[in-house]
Amino acid sequence: MTPGRPGPAVSAPAPDTADQATKDAMSNATTVSPAHSASTASTLITNIASLVTNDPSLGDGSPLGLIQDAAIAIEGDRVVWTGDQSKAPATDNRVDAGGRGVIPGFVDSHSHLVFAGDRTQEFNARMSGRPYSAGGIRTTVAATRAASDGELAANLTRYLHEALRQGTTTFETKSGYGLTVEDEARALRIAAAHTDEVTYLGAHIVSPDFADDPASYVALVTGEMLDACAPYARWIDVFCEKGAFDGDQARAILTAGKAKGLHPRVHANQLSYGPGVQLAVELDAASADHCTHLTDADVDALASGRTVATLLPGAEFSTRAEWPDARRLLDAGATVALSTDCNPGSSFTSSVPFCVALAVRDMGMTPDEAVWSATAGGAAALRRDDIGRLTPGARADLLLLDAPSHVHLAYRPGVPLVSGVWRRGVREV
Ligand SMILES: [Zn+2]
């Protein structure tokens, strides 16, 4: 099937004489009653060649719940019906997808977007042979501390728009470039204006101000800084790595965060083997992120717990590092998410489709698995069940591809295939 022209045709609203019987049929076909049903227009997106629902009870019965020749109805900010287009309900508006694919919006569950400055020179040097080390973060810390609130907010907004154009409808983002009480709290305050998925990462590296006294920095991160940051954050994170925080420090930081009502996620096993993954599973972290260097015991722990393994191939790409082995994790039964790790140092991409392509090409994932991991997997890594799927009751976050199916995201790497983005039921791209 040939993809249609860019931009779907949007028909005029249906006349007011819409048959009451078809409206009744629509409400019967749904399992939810939208809160604003009396005043909110409904929209049917139809003529979808291939619809990814991420509900295995639908369509082909695969984890993607793939429906061919599909339609999806949205009302307000929710999906109200998904199925065969020949059985679609009547709606106020209609969008012709032109025989293209529709998938859930990407859930980018790992980014670092509150920063200032640029690390072009570091990247250029690294691509000339210098290895990456965690210390590069200090460059961004200095620039971020020097920036105004307005500069940080403008930078964040810029990258959010960039990500939205590429299909990201939910994103998590972290502090970690302030490393003082005031700078960490303001980073989270700025982030919280744009997303509910805000992560306190005062333990990104030991602040340069405490280079000779890391124990005192851990005390700050678990004390005054935590108190100042907790009101703005849902999550607490720690970079558990040689050169950052060891297992004991990471445990103290995450445990302190839990006591303040924050839920853990962990930068684990990125640059070397270490205790991060085991600690994440033990503390019921929502996600262990990176998972590049895993022992068999680490893989077993991830497969047996509910901690998601979040893989961030932009980091390996941008540091010419060894790829995480997604195939090994999937074969063991672990839940895998794919995210960008967008940050100015080690992975300066906001493109989930790029990560999908890398995961398929270099990490042993099938196109189906990679798209699931970038949508439903990301939702699982944020412990969310209202996003990452396109079934009645889910948030109407969805992407119209300029391609007949989701497979093209990996098949046509680097091509901007996201041609339409609906977020909370509103078309934004
Ligand atoms: Zn990260």
The response to whether 325 counts as a known ligand-binding position is no
The response to whether 406 counts as a known ligand-binding position is no
d(CA 18, CA 11): 15
Q: What is the per-residue pLDDT for 424?
A: 97
**Residue 344 Cα, ligand 1 centroid: separation in angstroms?**
11
**3-state SS class at 7:** coil
**Residue 112 Cα, ligand 1 centroid: separation in angstroms?**
6
**Residue 176 Cα, ligand 1 centroid: separation in angstroms?**
9
Q: What is the per-residue pLDDT for 53?
A: 98
In the numeric block, which tokens belong to residue 387? 């996003």
The response to whether 20 counts as a known ligand-binding position is no
Q: Which helix (H) or strand (E) holds 122?
A: helix 120-126
**3-state SS class at 20:** helix
The H-assigned helical ranges of 305-390 are 313-319, 326-332, 352-362, 367-372, 378-381
**Radius of gyration over every alpha carbon of the chain, rounded to an integer in angstroms:** 22
What backbone phi and psi angles, to 5 degrees, belong to 423? Answer: -130, 125
Task: Count other Cβ atoms within 10 Å, centred on residue 296.
Answer: 9
Please name the residue that has the structure tokens 């085991």.
278
Helix axes 181-192, 149-165, angle to 10 degrees: 40
Q: What is the per-residue pLDDT for 131?
A: 67
**Residue 56 Cα, ligand 1 centroid: separation in angstroms?**
31
**3-state SS class at 423:** strand
**Residue 204 Cα, ligand 1 centroid: separation in angstroms?**
9
∠ CA 41-42-47, rounded to 5°: 145
Q: Which residues contact 53 (CB under 8 A, 6 or more apart)?
A: 59, 64, 65, 66, 67, 82, 104, 389, 390, 391
Q: What is the per-residue pLDDT for 281?
A: 98
**Residue 110 Cα, ligand 1 centroid: separation in angstroms?**
6
The H-assigned helical ranges of 132-262 are 137-146, 149-165, 181-192, 214-221, 224-229, 247-259
**Residue 288 Cα, ligand 1 centroid: separation in angstroms?**
11
**3-state SS class at 117:** coil
d(CA 182, CA 228): 8
What backbone phi and psi angles, to 5 degrees, belong to 168? Answer: -85, 115
**Residue 148 Cα, ligand 1 centroid: separation in angstroms?**
23
End-to-end CA distance of the chain: 23
Please name the residue that has the structure tokens 């042993």.
364
The response to whether 249 counts as a known ligand-binding position is no
Residue 417 in contact with residue 409, Cβ under 8 Å?
yes
The response to whether 346 counts as a known ligand-binding position is yes
Burial class (CB in 10 A: 0-12, 13-18, 19+), 196: exposed
**Residue 267 Cα, ligand 1 centroid: separation in angstroms?**
6
The response to whether 267 counts as a known ligand-binding position is yes
Q: What is the pTM of this model?
A: 0.90
**Residue 372 Cα, ligand 1 centroid: separation in angstroms?**
21
Residues 102-141 pLDDT 10s: 999 999 999 999 999 989 888 988 898 876 554 588 889 9
Q: What is the per-residue pLDDT for 31?
A: 35
Helix axes 181-192, 137-146, angle to 10 degrees: 80
What backbone phi and psi angles, to 5 degrees, belong to 378? Answer: -60, -40
**Residue 237 Cα, ligand 1 centroid: separation in angstroms?**
9
pLDDT-flagged residues of the chain (< 50): 1-39, 134
**Residue 265 Cα, ligand 1 centroid: separation in angstroms?**
11
The response to whether 177 counts as a known ligand-binding position is yes
Alpha-carbon distances, residue 237 vs 146, 273, 312, 337 (angstroms): 24, 18, 16, 17
d(CA 218, CA 216): 5
**Residue 129 Cα, ligand 1 centroid: separation in angstroms?**
22
- Chain-centroid distance of CA 129 in Å reads 31
- Among residues 141, 292, 279, 262, the alpha carbon closest in space to that of 206 is found at 141
111 DSSP assignment? B
The response to whether 78 counts as a known ligand-binding position is no
Question: Domains in the chain, start-ordered, CATH in brackets?
Answer: 9-105+388-427 (2.30.40.10), 107-381 (3.20.20.140)
Amino acid at 225: M
In the numeric block, which tokens belong to residue 354? 């790029």
The response to whether 204 counts as a known ligand-binding position is yes
